[in-house]
């Protein structure tokens, strides 16, 4: 069993930062030795100033790999941004997150699904782009017919054939009473959008799920069992606190059809449930790669887990350990 550093499996392409910006709308973070920029438009009525500042940030960080942007309130913002991103001599961005969760203005989306489609289609000219994340809320679900919106966005993403990693974040939040009641973005609607994208984009091999639920795991299991798609890698985070729920979710995730690489993130696996993971892995015959990097597991507990895998004659080809693994555990994995 050899340990490899597989970047698409060891961590989310889109790290989770929720801090408020403290300097004029931009947060700069260093993640895995690459610049990660999170831009938040804090003054939506002054788009010219914010847009100019964003462009200066992009130009001043040519090494940036991951770009997380909350889009402004007018469609012209998209044209300016896309023109800048396509300047290949300046930018080497591999991961883009488009956040449209603050996209309501005068009871309608400031950026419509049709306008978003046009922007996404331009991304096909970014040759280094590998990962795309969309963050949406009820404004996407309720504007101009949900089914039509699904087709627009899925068709647009299918044009960006260099994408290998996809993530969909849906945030349902409270809107002021002054806005009309929005159509709830139900789980069924979310999964319909996600699966339509996965079904028609044959290049997407990796799916990121920031917070997986039992409902999502079951839906994914059903689709992978009965329909074709190109997924082979799944990176998930979850915070189940119930032992029975833990075991049920882990059993599903380790036995999903077509999924040969599985990564757990943001403290999904810990001392209290790692034995359950070991138990369900005994019944898996197709998983070749497992990543526990980014999880907090006691060194002795982790060592016992790895030893148990060998005793069960488990056939993993690689296991990627947390950073606190002991030298004994690392040697076991290398053998």
Confidence at 2, pLDDT banded by 50, 70, 90? very low
Greater model confidence, 91 or 285: 91
Q: Given phi > 0 = left and psi -120 to 50 = alpha, else beta, which region is 26?
A: beta
According to the per-residue pLDDT averaged within each range, which of 13-27, 36-50, 104-118, 243-257 is highest? 243-257
**Whole-number pLDDT of residue 18:** 40
pLDDT tens sequence across 227-276: 989 999 999 988 777 778 888 999 999 999 999 999 998 778 989 899 99
**Whole-number pLDDT of residue 20:** 38
**Whole-number pLDDT of residue 103:** 65
Lowest mean pLDDT among 70-79, 116-125, 190-199, 233-242: 70-79
**Whole-number pLDDT of residue 26:** 54
Confidence at 27, pLDDT banded by 50, 70, 90? low
**Whole-number pLDDT of residue 134:** 93
**Whole-number pLDDT of residue 48:** 62
Return the domain boundaries, the chain: 1-13+229-335, 17-209
Q: How far is CA 325 from CA 100, 162, 201, 251, 319, in A?
A: 39, 35, 37, 24, 12
Describe the crossing of helices 274-281 and 299-311 by its angle, rounded to 10 degrees: 10
DSSP character string of 52-102 = HHHHHHHHH-TTEEEEEEE--SSTHHHHHHHHHHT-TTT----EEEEE-TT
Lowest mean pLDDT among 217-231, 262-276, 313-327: 313-327
Query: Cβ distance 166 to 193 under 8 Å?
Result: no
- Kindly tell me if the per-residue pLDDT of 50 is higher than 80: no
pTM score > 0.85 for this model?
yes
Describe the crossing of helices 299-311 and 327-334 by its angle, rounded to 10 degrees: 20
d(CA 137, CA 184): 9
d(CA 265, CA 180): 37
Query: Cβ distance 290 to 317 under 8 Å?
Result: no
Domain at 17-209: CATH code: 3.80.30
- Kindly tell me if the per-residue pLDDT of 317 is higher than 90: no
d(CA 198, CA 193): 9
Query: What's the whole-number mean pLDDT along residues 12-28?
Result: 53
d(CA 14, CA 2): 26
CA dihedral 156, 13, 232, 297 (to 10 degrees): -150
39 strand-pairing partners: 26, 69
Which residue in 77, 82, 28 sits closest to 57, CA to CA?
Answer: 28
Query: Cβ distance 207 to 236 under 8 Å?
Result: no
Provide the mean pLDDT of the chain: 81
**Whole-number pLDDT of residue 81:** 84
Describe the crossing of helices 146-159 and 113-122 by its angle, rounded to 10 degrees: 10
d(CA 292, CA 210): 15
According to the per-residue pLDDT averaged within each range, which of 33-47, 133-147, 159-173 is highest? 159-173
One CATH from 3.40.50.300, 3.30.230.70, 3.80.10.10, 3.30.300.130 for 1-13+229-335: 3.80.10.10
């Amino acid at each position: 069993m050899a340990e490899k550093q597989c970047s698409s499996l060891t961590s989310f392409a889109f790290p989770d930062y929720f801090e408020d910006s403290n300097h004029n709308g931009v947060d700069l973070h260093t993640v895995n030795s690459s610049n990660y920029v999170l831009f938040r438009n804090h003054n939506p009525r002054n788009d010219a100033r914010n847009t100019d500042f964003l462009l200066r940030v992009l130009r001043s960080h040519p090494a940036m790999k991951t770009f997380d942007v909350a889009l402004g309130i007018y469609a012209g913002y998209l044209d300016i941004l896309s023109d800048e991103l396509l300047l290949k001599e300046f930018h080497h961005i591999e991961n883009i997150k488009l956040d449209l969760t603050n996209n309501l203005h005068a009871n309608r989306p400031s950026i419509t699904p049709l306008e978003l489609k046009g922007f996404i289609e331009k991304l096909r000219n970014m040759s280094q782009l590998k990962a795309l994340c969309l963050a949406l809320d009820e404004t996407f679900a309720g504007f101009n017919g949900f089914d039509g919106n699904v087709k627009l966005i899925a068709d647009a993403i299918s044009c960006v054939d260099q994408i290998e990693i996809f993530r969909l974040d849906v945030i349902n939040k409270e809107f002021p009473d002054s806005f009309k009641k929005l159509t709830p973005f139900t789980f069924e609607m979310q999964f319909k959008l996600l699966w339509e994208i996965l079904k028609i984009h044959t290049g997407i091999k990796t799916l990121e799920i920031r917070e997986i639920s039992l409902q999502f795991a079951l839906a994914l299991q059903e689709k992978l069992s009965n329909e074709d798609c190109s997924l082979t890698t799944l990176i998930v985070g979850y915070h189940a606190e119930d032992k029975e729920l833990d075991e049920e979710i882990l059993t599903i995730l380790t036995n999903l059809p077509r999924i040969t690489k599985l990564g757990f993130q943001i403290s999904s696996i810990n001392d209290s449930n790692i034995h359950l993971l070991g138990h369900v892995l005994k019944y898996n015959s197709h998983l070749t790669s497992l990543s526990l990097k980014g999880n907090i597991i006691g060194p002795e507990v982790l060592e016992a887990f790895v030893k148990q895998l060998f005793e069960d004659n488990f056939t993993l080809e690689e296991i990627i350990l947390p950073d606190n693994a002991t030298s004994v555990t690392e040697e076991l994995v290398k053998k």
